[in-house]
Chain A
Amino acid sequence: MIFPFEIPLLLLLLVTAAGAILVKDLMSSVLLLGTYSFFLSLIWAWFGAVDVAFVEAVVGAGLGTVLFLLTLFGTAPKDTRLRRPPPSLVTLIVFPLLGVLMLYAASDLPGFGDPNSPASTHISPTYIERSYQDTHTPNVVTSVLMDYRSLDTMVETVVIFTAGIACALLLRRESK
């Protein structure tokens, strides 16, 4: 590896995020948000979180764009150009400060893939050692999601199902 590949990916992510905020047209903003989720999924894939990348690519880049477009379809006028007022002074002061605070907090986090970090010493070894005997599932992530935390996953599914029904009800066409 010559240089860290996540830097150009992060750069693309920042450019698309800024573009989605600054662009003058609602439709273009939606398209740029799709690109943004796609670059986010590339970053997840590069860090080895393949399942998260899959969800981000399918839900964020694919389904999210379609849902935004359907919403525009139902609500927006023909002219979707945006006229936004310039940001207030408080916004200009508070948000950079918040960013600096978050960067300061992030410098305390353990490094990526650090074997001594709390996340990889506290409970992960137990899952990795025992999940096959406990659940007979070769995939550790699946065994955590579907067995150790099955109730959690069930209620999550209920939430997503409710959200899906709500979207379908909101976006349905009026039958005349």
Chain B
Amino acid sequence: MKTFLFCVLVLLVILIGAYLYRVLRGPTIFDRVLGLNGISTKAIILLIVIGLYFDRVDMFIDISTGYALLNSVGALAVAKYLEQKGLS
């Protein structure tokens, strides 16, 4: 079971790398925002898998919930910014 969870962790990190390429290279700001949102969805899962790996899911679910909530606030802030400043 540990080996399986570890493989899941490594796979998720590789997936995050794919998103990160889009965040780093993305020609427009929208590519970057989408990449960031993709990274945060993977991140929530990654935190919970780390929690399973260490048998401490209860605390890690708190972190991932807090992260998910604040991430939606961040996405709203980005949307508001782009609305005010116009598209770049």
Contacts and interface: CB of A to CB of B under 8 A. Distances in A.
Contact of A50 (B17, B40, B46, B59): B59
B43 A42 contact: yes
A12 B88 CA distance: 27
Interface string A7-23: 01100100110010001
A158 interface: no
Interface residues of B, number: 44
B57 to A, nearest CB: 11
A27 interface: yes
A62 B78 CA distance: 12
A45 B74 contact: no
Nearest to A28: B32
A23 B70 CA distance: 24
Interface string B11-55: 001001100100110100100110010011001001100110010
Given A31-B33, A61-B70, A50 B56 contact: yes
Nearest to B59: A50
B32 A31 contact: yes
A48 B24 contact: no
Contact of B20 (A35, A42, A61): A35
A62 B67 contact: yes
A8 B67 contact: no
Contacts of A137: none
B61 to A, nearest CB: 11
Nearest to A57: B67
Interface of A: 1-2, 5, 8-9, 12, 15-16, 19, 23, 25, 27-28, 31-32, 34-35, 38, 41-42, 45-46, 48, 50, 53-54, 57-58, 61-63, 65-66, 69-70, 72-73, 78-80
Given A5-B9, A46-B50, A57-B67, 16 more contacts: A1-B2, A12-B17, A12-B20, A19-B24, A27-B29, A38-B67, A41-B63, A42-B47, A48-B54, A53-B63, A57-B47, A57-B70, A62-B67, A62-B71, A62-B73, A78-B85
